[in-house]
Amino acid sequence: MRYWLMKSEPDVYSFDHLVADGETYWDGVRNYQARNMMRDDMQPGDRVLYYHSNTKPPHVAAVAEISRAGYPDPTQFDPNEKYFDPKASPEKPRWYVVDLKPVARLKQTVPLADLKANPALEGMLVIKKGQRLSVQPVDKEHFDAVVAMGGGLAG
DNA sequence: GCCAACGTTGGC
DNA sequence: GCCAACGTTGGC
């Protein structure tokens, strides 16, 4: 099993929204590095730190789980979609999604500043300056440390 | 609102 | 194939 961090702007798609939906496909990723991870590396059962970006403060909010491995992003084929890609076709898809379902909130959210302040998280991608990848691999040790910083899983 | 970081595009 | 221009991300 692998561990990941996925960023979402809470105004766009918060963890609460995921809970309300029960499950979602993670559409709209248009970055090749992130695409490759979703297409090639993510497997059902993998655990995900659900990170809220572009909010004050940015923070890890919850844990989610991959519920379906990578498959072509349906939004790339639809001209009415924001994420339509004219260079993609069902025969030659460019972009991939995974399905995600909620596991649980952390008892307390963990702000980015706290992640940066924890020496045990040295090397974690999300705390690096200029790191914009919206899907990132996370070491198990780092994953467990972040969950512990959040007081464990709620409920 | 600013701007650093960085990925992508397109002219040459 | 280089690289300048441009667009986006996302913290601050």
Structural domain harbouring A45: 3-149
pTM score above 0.75: yes
Domain-located, residue A155 = no
pLDDT band of residue A123 (cuts 50, 70, 90) is: very high
* A150, two tokens: 């959040």
Strand C bases near protein CB (under 7 Å) are: 8-12
| Long-range contacts of A144-149, Cβ-Cβ distance < 8 Å, separation of 24 or more | A145/A118, A145/A120, A145/A121, A146/A49, A146/A60, A146/A110, A146/A115, A146/A121, A147/A63, A147/A106, A149/A110, A149/A114, A149/A115, A149/A118
pLDDT band of residue A150 (cuts 50, 70, 90) is: very high
Domain-located, residue A154 = no
Q: Which nucleotide is nearest to A130 (CA to C1')?
A: B5
Domain-located, residue A89 = yes
Domain count, chain A: 1
Strand B bases near protein CB (under 7 Å) are: 4-8
- Alpha-carbon span A145 to A33, nearest angstrom: 25
Nearest residue to B6 (CA, C1')? A130
Say whether the CB atom of A32 is under 7 angstroms from strand B: yes
Domain-located, residue A26 = yes
- A73, A83 contact by CB (below 8 A): yes
Pairing label, strands A24-25, A3-8: unpaired
Q: Which nucleotide is nearest to A111 (CA to C1')?
A: C11
Domain-located, residue A48 = yes
Across A49-71, average pLDDT: 97
CATH number at residue A61: 3.10.590.10
Q: What Cα–Cα distance (Å) separates residue A17 from each residue in A10, A36, A78, A86, A137?
A: 9, 26, 23, 29, 23
pLDDT at A146: 98
A31 CA, B7 C1': Å apart: 8
Model pLDDT for residues A76-107, shown as the tens digit of each residue? 998 888 888 888 888 889 999 999 999 999 99
